Amino acid sequence: MKKNSFLQYLSFIGPGIVLAATGIGSGDMIATAVGGANFGTGILWSVGLGVTLKFALNESMARFQLATGETILEAWMKYLHRSVGIVFLIYLLLWSFIVAAATVSATGLAAHTLFPSLSVAQWAVIHSVVAYVLVKLGSYHFLEQLMKILVAGMFILIVYCAWSLGVSWNTLQGFIPSINAKHMISVFSIVGAVGGSVTLLSYSYWMQERKWEGLSYLKAVRLDLFVAYALTGCFCAAVVMIASRVESSALQNGNIVIALAEQIELASNQLGKKLFIWGFWAAVFSSVLGVWQGVPYIFQNFMQCQRQNKHAKNSNRILSFVHQHAYHLFLCYLAFPPLLLLLFNKPIWVVIVYTLVGALFMPFLALSLFLLNNRKKLMHTARNQFFSNFALIFCLLMFIAMAIYKISKLKF
């Protein structure tokens, strides 16, 4: 891409939209809603912190891939001990199982609220099957266009609902950072939830679907990611604003979405409540589609790294993932087995292992990017500058603190 104008850069925006749609799910809604209900708009600054940290991580991963032609997963498999790959695979399987169940359940809840003739579980099964069919039969280009529609819908509806409640100077002051010890639990939850975790890795494969190769695409990638995290930040800030008008006691017993919708109804009318539920549905169903389409790439990439010679060239391999058996196998794993969790409580050992390994994933990602992106022989002119190093070190320290907190709260 040579000397393109700003309008030409805008035409490249796409993978970032898919990333934003995938990253914004039920976890973001719950974390930001609880934070807003408990501490009001004073917690808004943590949304900005979360999207900034996730932008720094994603930009570093994308820059590494453009400079080396390797995904970050391939770099882990190539430069680190093989045990790292085994641990990551265990985490990927657990993460996928639990997140898939939670996401389709949230989609079922939204659909049941709109159309109560079917139960939450029935709607969840329907959405999982529909997502499976759309991903299996559709192309990446089709998914990207569908995601743009869903993102536009969820963004416009949720931001409108927040605006309808009124924006005051006190609301805007919430974007000014203030450190309060009692806020830190919500800060950790929001920073961890905003923008996703493992789904960050999927961006590498969506880049390759777009055939973004070489550092000439770096400016376009940065713009793409900026738009993605700006949308994510605005969406989550809107949820905080809405939740700040709800009593924290109303968020008990899993009624978070209903409580937010009822607050909208009180402030406006029944139509406002419907619009909010439709916005929530668009958010969680787009997340289902993104996870179903993007995460199987990670599994396929892992399996290919296991089979191939460490020094084999791989620039054209990712694009054929959707036609390979491992991709379809993992797509089935996402779409069907997790539905069992709709009938049974999560086994405690699954939760413990998932939490232990998951707490270490984000610190590991930040540390590996810091080490890899500072290799002059590997990155050449694309190696980290001061801001990138500062951001990655801050990410590392922040996520270590979050990991210590999450592990300390485990009950064995």
Tens of pLDDT, residue by residue over 305-348, are: 887 754 455 444 554 554 578 999 999 999 999 888 777 655 55
Residue type, 351: V
Torsion angles phi and psi, residue 410, rounded to 5? -70, 140
How high is the pLDDT of residue 258? 78
The count of other CB atoms within 10 Å of the CB of residue 19 is 29
Q: What percent of the chain has pLDDT over 90?
A: 42
Among 193, 183, 233, CA closest to 358: 193
How high is the pLDDT of residue 177? 60
Q: How far is CA 30 from CA 138, 280, 352, in A?
A: 30, 11, 21
The CA-based diameter of the chain, rounded to the nearest angstrom, is: 62
What does the alpha-carbon distance between residue 225 and residue 346 come to, in Å, rounded to a whole number?
34
What does the alpha-carbon distance between residue 387 and residue 105 come to, in Å, rounded to a whole number?
40
Residue type, 133: V
How high is the pLDDT of residue 192? 80
If you compute the radius of gyration of the chain from its CA atoms, what whole number of angstroms results? 20
How high is the pLDDT of residue 319? 46
Mean pLDDT of 365-379: 93
Residue 374: pLDDT above 90? yes
Angle at 139 between CA 29 and CA 329, to 5 degrees: 75
Torsion angles phi and psi, residue 139, rounded to 5? -90, 170
What does the alpha-carbon distance between residue 351 and residue 13 come to, in Å, rounded to a whole number?
37
How high is the pLDDT of residue 360? 79
Mean pLDDT of 104-130: 91
Look up the pTM and report it: 0.88
pLDDT tens readout for residues 195-243 = 788 899 999 999 999 999 999 999 989 999 999 999 999 999 888 888 8
The count of other CB atoms within 10 Å of the CB of residue 342 is 17
What does the alpha-carbon distance between residue 410 and residue 335 come to, in Å, rounded to a whole number?
28
Chain-centre distance for alpha carbon 312:
31
How high is the pLDDT of residue 272? 82
Mean pLDDT of 285-308: 91
Provide the mean pLDDT of the chain. Answer: 83
What does the alpha-carbon distance between residue 412 and residue 407 come to, in Å, rounded to a whole number?
10
Instruction: Point out the least confidently predicted range of 105-114, 156-165, 311-320.
Output: 311-320
Confidence of residue 255 (pLDDT cuts 50, 70, 90): low
